[in-house]
Structure 1
Amino acid sequence: MIRGLKIVSIPVTDQDVALAFYTEKMGFKVGTDQPMWPGQRWIELIIPGADTRLALFTPQGHEDRVGGFQSMTFWCDDVFATAEALKARGVTLAEEPTKQPWGTYAKFRDPDGNEFVFSSR
């Protein structure tokens, strides 16, 4: 039976720029960084304390998926504190923290314009 998500890919145009952003500004760790084919590496990132990994990878023919809203949500303990910490590291928020009847969330953008939600668990 399926037991969870192992890897979620984030489409990027420049793997070096994305790697610097996700490690230096978001605080993720490198799980693996190895060659795949010319011009493309397989980069897996570890989110400290999480089982799911992120891959900075754009399959050939899927370049049109870079930028815009990405359909994944990160969770955190406190959206307001996380938003302040990310802004202090230079991360651009696409939307400030907002409380809704269904929960609290905010959005951030990476260097490629990919936009992600983060919310309290």
Structure 2
Amino acid sequence: MDLKLEVVVLPVSDVDRARDFYTEQLGFRLDADFPVHDGYRVVQVTPPGSACSVILGDGVSDARPGSVQGLHLIVSDIEEARRELADRGLDISAPFHDTTGIFHQAGGAGRVAGAHPERASYGSFASFTDPDGNGWVLQEITERLPGR
């Protein structure tokens, strides 16, 4: 049985502001915007090249706006992706890697400035938040582990 992650729901406080952020600043595709009734609106956006979409809206989550952290967008070149997003006006961190070389730790623990010294696949990151504070991480993957 396949189990595919296809939708992530993000809690936001202002649907129009969030929709515009994801479509205009990040370049996500707007798939749907259904204003069903007062208090219930579903907006779906999808990152370029992704099979997983993001749903935001009114009445789609009980979570506090900005409470989702650690969402990852995979890129093939951390420097280029960071530069492109910064050119779009996104407030994004400089590239970083973790002291362990395995994955980044929560918050800023173990964070070392700059991309991974050998540019090891899975080892370089940059981070940003949406207008509500939902946290995203760019992760550079140039060669996938076996079976991926």
Shorter-chain-normalised TM-score: which range? 0.7 to 0.9
| 1:59 Cα deviation after fit | 4.2
Letter aligned with residue 84 of structure 1: R
Aligned partners of 1:116, 1:53: CA distance in 2, in Å?
A: 14
Return closer, same or farther for 1:51/1:97 CA change in 2, 3 Å cut-off: same
Q: Percent identity?
A: 31
- Which moved further from structure 2: 43-52 or 55-64? 55-64
Residue ranges of structure 2 left out of the alignment (5+ in a row)? 103-122, 142-148
Distance 2:32 2:61 in 1: 23
Q: Residue 82 of structure 1 aligns with which residue?
A: 81
| Matched pairs, number | 119
Larger radius of gyration: 2
- 5+ residue gaps, structure 1, are none
Change (3 A) 1:43 1:70: same
- Give secondary structure in 2 for the equivalent of 1:67: coil
Match of 2:95, SS? strand
Q: Which structure shows the higher helix fraction?
A: 1
After TM superposition, what 4+ stretches of structure 1 lie above 3 angstroms from structure 2?
Answer: 57-61
More displaced 10-residue stretch of structure 1: 12-21 or 48-57: 48-57
Give 1:8 deviation, angstroms. Answer: 0.5
Structure with greater strand share of residues: 1
In the superposition, the TM-score normalised over structure 2's length comes to: 0.71
* Alignment match, 1:117: 137
What's the Cα RMSD here? 1.9
Matches for 1:1-121 after TM superposition, within 5 Å? 1-57=1-57, 59=59, 62-64=62-64, 66-68=65-67, 70-93=69-92, 95-100=93-98, 101-102=101-102, 103-121=123-141
* Structure 2 letter corresponding to 1:85: E
